[in-house]
Chains A and B, each alone.
Chain A
Amino acid sequence: MPIEIPKDKWPGSIRKVTLGATAAEGGTRAKTVTVGGQATMPYLHFEAPTPNQPVVAIEIKSRKPEDWSPLLAEVWGEAMADPAKWAKAAEAAGADLIVLALTLADTPDDAVKAVKSVLGATGLPVIVWGPGQAEKDNELLVPVAEAAKGEKLVLGLCEDKNYRTIVATAMANGHLIQCRTPMDVNLAKQLNILITDMGLPADRILMDPTTGALGYGIEYGYSVMERLRLAALQGDSMTQMPLIVTPGFEAWKAKESKVGEGVPAAWGNWKERAVHWETLTAAALMESGADILILRHPESVKRIKAAISELVTA
């Protein structure tokens, strides 16, 4: 008698969320991207297929970042000074989505201009982040949301301290949101409840649990993601949002990636180590249930995309 493989039968599944809108849907995107829909823990095809494969986004900024690693400046070169060019280069590097991060130096006009130029340069769906200070986020994201009405952008980062204004403008202008909580299952769930209570449909929320980088607390993010995914499969509707994570941002602030001097010889070749750091941070999060992985280096993008396509073929 053949051995019977134990299979989990889950009552719940991850919610399907579509980013971007084509002309027919009221936007200008060449195509949309749908994530979610999974009814198993990651990539277990013997239980259920992976309906929508995880995707990779590349993070670009509205202004040339001064504090990014020289390795990133080296690969993106001139494009870093112009978000439209950068978005094009990111698309050419294999991005499925573009993340445009606005900065504190941007005025609302600058922000709108940057978003429009990116929307003009690429047909991919776009995620727009405020600079990360509640007041400034509101000041920039509201005019952006209005100017790009109907595009089904993702607006972020919605946190406990700033979600109201961003959620309101997402509702008014047909956008989605990325909501971030600090490495905790209950906090993530709580924020989803608060946001859906405001009236934003649950299928317009992406959940960012904060992950940490390899070597800097990734085990917390990793387990929080597994627990959120398990809760979702068990049928908890307030944890069924697709997971969006930022391994690029996390890994490139680690000394292991960022700098090449004054580090132990045992760390080896800087450039290769840096890409490994980002790629392995992303790889771990891919195994623990990420639906959208936001990266910075084209080499990591290539590697993670290849791994995802291997993992989604049964």
Chain B
Amino acid sequence: MALSGIQIYKLLPQTNCKECGFPTCLAFAMKLAAKQVELSACPYVTEAAQKQLAESAAPPIRLVTLKAAGGEAKAGNEVVMFRHEKTFYNRPGLFVRVKASEGAEAIGKKVAEADAYKVNYVGLDFTLDGFAVEADGGDFAGAVKAVRGASKRPLILIGKDPAALEPGLQALTGETPLLYAANASNWEAMADLAKKYTAALVVSGETPDALADLTQKIQAKGVEDMVLDPGGKNMSQMLTAWTQLRRLALKSNFRPLGYPIIAFPCDAKDEGVAAAQAIAKYAGFVVLSEFKPEAIYPLLVLRQNIYTDPQKPIQVTPGIYEINQPKPESPVLVTTNFSITYFAVANEVEGSGLPAWLVVCDAEGMSVLTAWAAGKFDAERIAKTIKGFDVASKVSKKRIVLPGHVAVLSGELEAELPDWEIKVGPREAVDIPAFYKQVLM
């Protein structure tokens, strides 16, 4: 946990020599606590104090980064139990598992397809984060090479026998994979492997005590980047284990468990639901059994939603957006600048091929209903936007379509914009094309 200014002061020489540029050690300590200066500005701190300060500055959940030529997968650095308390920072990596026994050819094909997967959601492109390769007999090095031949994304290597895993590690150069897993019986050899090949290491144990015992022993051997696997036979046990580990790291500031968590929905009864729980409840790496777009897309979206910063609604810039080359007689559709609302409307209109002017009002990034309830999307604001962007100069037919959820505003808006015709559209974006064809054409 971060130290207070007073706690830092106690670690300083307390001579007030001013060499750091501050009149007193206390003043310098306050600046340090606020992270506005570097400790190195004081030439007189002892080594012991330096170590203590560095430790206190370390995040309660260590940031573990898997690296490969094709990208990185980061987990850790989280600071809260509930997203509204601040935000969740590092979106959990989604990894698809292949098994060496499937054979190099099948693996190469499966990985190539999954690697190429890209899906767009509200203007963002999402992909998978990497692959997990399981040493389940057969040619493990060959399997790892087959994956590497088809993808450059980060890897997780899975196996209980260090001797079986090593050929896989040898097949990789210049990257940081994740090694799964060290347990009570193999931890020494696994730690040696992790060190030798600069891999991060998963530690498996069924209780917090067992995990903490192992992480301390492994750390003593010089491995810093660890990931926790508390197991769990069902969703209830997993939720309990993940919650307890997160609490021990954040609330008890218990260093031996201050590492990200790996989850295996691939072994659950309902992979999709188990993966959803892993995303919502603290997993840093998530291993899936197969690549299916219809299953991956909802998980990627859920992950994005849960990891969106709640303090900053995602917004689009207010203004006039032209959809399908509108003409002066095309209708004017009005919506808010909440990005999901905007994209829902824009996608529908675009998909229908029908031309329209889409006017986006500044509603402080809220959806239509929320903004209306909060008084950020009313007749006055809409009228101001229409006038402010001089929408009248673009059109010959002055027609505005209001979202159905704010039908109540139509009277007031008529009063605000007397020379415009106000129409009430559907409540949901998906119904816009039908409404357009029936009412606007």
Instruction: List chain A positions with a Cβ less than 8 A from chain B.
Output: 2-6, 43-46, 67, 182-184, 187, 210, 212, 214-220, 222-223, 226-227, 230, 253-256, 258-259, 262, 264-270, 272-273, 276-277, 279-280, 283-284, 287-288, 303-304, 306-307, 310-314
Contact = CB atoms under 8 A, between A and B. Distances in A.
B269 A306 contact: yes
Nearest to A223: B84
Nearest to B277: A287
Interface stretch (B25-33, B47-55, B63-71, B344-352): B344-352
A310 B430 contact: no
Nearest to A255: B430
26 contacts: A5-B247, A6-B252, A43-B236, A43-B239, A46-B240, A183-B370, A183-B373, A212-B367, A218-B305, A223-B84, A255-B347, A255-B348, A256-B297, A262-B351, A266-B119, A266-B120, A267-B297, A270-B294, A273-B294, A273-B297, A280-B273, A284-B305, A287-B281, A288-B280, A307-B235, A311-B239
Q: Which 4 A-B pairs have the closest CB atoms?
A: A268-B294, A268-B293, A273-B294, A266-B119
B267 interface: no
B354 interface: no
A283 B340 contact: no
A222 B367 CA distance: 15
B370 A222 contact: no
Interface of B: 82-84, 117-121, 208-209, 212, 234-236, 239-240, 243-244, 247-248, 251-252, 254, 257, 269-270, 272-273, 276-277, 280-281, 292-299, 301-302, 305-306, 308, 310, 338, 340, 344, 347-348, 351, 367, 369-370, 372-374, 428-431
Nearest to A254: B430
A212 B234 CA distance: 28
A226 B84 contact: yes
Contacts of A269: 292-294
A86 B347 CA distance: 34
Nearest to A266: B119
A261 to B, nearest CB: 10
A288 B279 CA distance: 13
Contacts of B248: 3, 5-6
A116 to B, nearest CB: 30
Q: Main secondary structure on chain B at its contact with chain A?
A: helix
Report which residue of A214, A215, A230 has the largest number of chain B beta carbons within 10 angstroms of its beta carbon: A215
Given A255-B347, A258-B430, A312-B236, A5 B298 contact: no
A52 B301 CA distance: 31
Nearest to B347: A255
A214 B298 contact: yes
A47 B128 CA distance: 36
B292 A280 contact: no
A229 to B, nearest CB: 10
A260 B93 CA distance: 28
Contact of B297 (A45, A266, A304): A266
A272 B306 contact: no
A266 B236 contact: no
Greatest chain B CB density within 10 A among A270, A311, A314 is at A311
A227 to B, nearest CB: 6
Given A216-B340, A219-B310, A287-B280, A264 B120 contact: yes
Contacts of B299: 280
A303 B275 CA distance: 13
A273 B295 CA distance: 6
Contacts of A277: 298
Contacts of B295: 268, 272-273, 276
B293 A267 contact: yes
